[in-house]
Amino acid sequence: MVEEVPCSELFCIFCCPPCPRSVASKLGFRPPNPTYSIEPDTEAAKESSSVGTGAVQGAAGIDARWKLHLNENAFFQYGQRELDAIDVFMTENSRGNRIGCMFIHCIPEARFTILFSHGNGEDLGLVSSFYIYLSKNINCNIFSYDYSGYGVSTGKPSEKNVYADIDAAWHALRTRYGISPENIILYGQSIGSVPTVDLASRYDCAAVVLHSPLSSGLRVPFPDIKKTYCCDSFANIDKVSKITSPVLIIHGTSDEVIHISQGVALYDRCTNSLEPLWVKGGGHNDIAFYSRYIRRLRRLISVDLKR
């Protein structure tokens, strides 16, 4: 029998100061110092207009051409060719925050595009090299965005904001690039599983990948909790059963941040689960280094989604 968490312990975690709305920021959000910047490229917009290509109107009120600048902390491991395959721009979410977006289109004829919600302590500059690596190895393009308060995105990180952030990214991917839902794979890593599950519970897509996901905020420090308390946040466990798209869960057996039991609990709640990947010995931040990781994603693309 699992013990209930003492009310006094819950109070210390979530109510000091006594403000349940701070739960999300206490447990989840640690934006790094920005590792990149983007700015409108007015010269490219003028050239595009002069040859009649008809650029898309951007959030800044000018033609949507932007320049990406990575600083030394971005650790970009590729060359100019890959850099040229990255589009960046700003969009706006429903809560008035401007959201930085990145589209890595290394694979011109790719059937699928991954809408990737990255983990904590990262921004688009830090994950851009990984996205290129992933794109080339599984033959998918990658679209990603920064949460409010991360990278160049304005506002502050919060649970409500991340839901608005992924909505803005979803609609930008569909309208700006014309990608249909049946060709979009939603991918959420760690804290990124929260907006991913929320969006997938409301929209159909090709598939959903949950990488080292949490079942709820309170279950991170207390993985044995069996019910969702009113002061809890990030309640993936209460939404995942509403996802009708195929769901692949990836979790390390030695995850030191989010216990694997949370991935298992989400898997048990899924109504359309695929064969999961439990990475023996895998931690929270090293699963991508295991060869099984890429093999399982390739099988998702080449086998699971061709049935």
Residue numbers annotated as active site: 190, 255, 284
- Pairwise CA distance, residues 126 & 74, whole Å: 5
Q: Which residues contact 35 (CB under 8 A, 6 or more apart)?
A: 70, 71, 73, 74, 123, 124, 125, 126, 151
Separation CA 144–CA 146 (nearest Å)? 7
* Phi, psi torsion values for 266, nearest 5 degrees: -65, -40
Report the Cα 177 to chain-centroid distance in Å: 18
What is the rounded CA–CA span in Å between residue 48 and residue 88? 16
Maximum CA pair distance of the chain?
A: 71
Whole-angstrom Cα distance, residue 129 to residue 166? Answer: 21
Contacts of 164 (CB under 8 A, 6+ apart): 93, 94, 95, 97, 148
Please check whether residue 70 is in contact with residue 36, taking contact to mean a CB–CB distance below 8 angstroms: yes
DSSP calls for 150-219 = STT--S---HHHHHHHHHHHHHHHHHHH---GGGEEEEEEGGGHHHHHHHHTTS--SEEEEES--S-STT
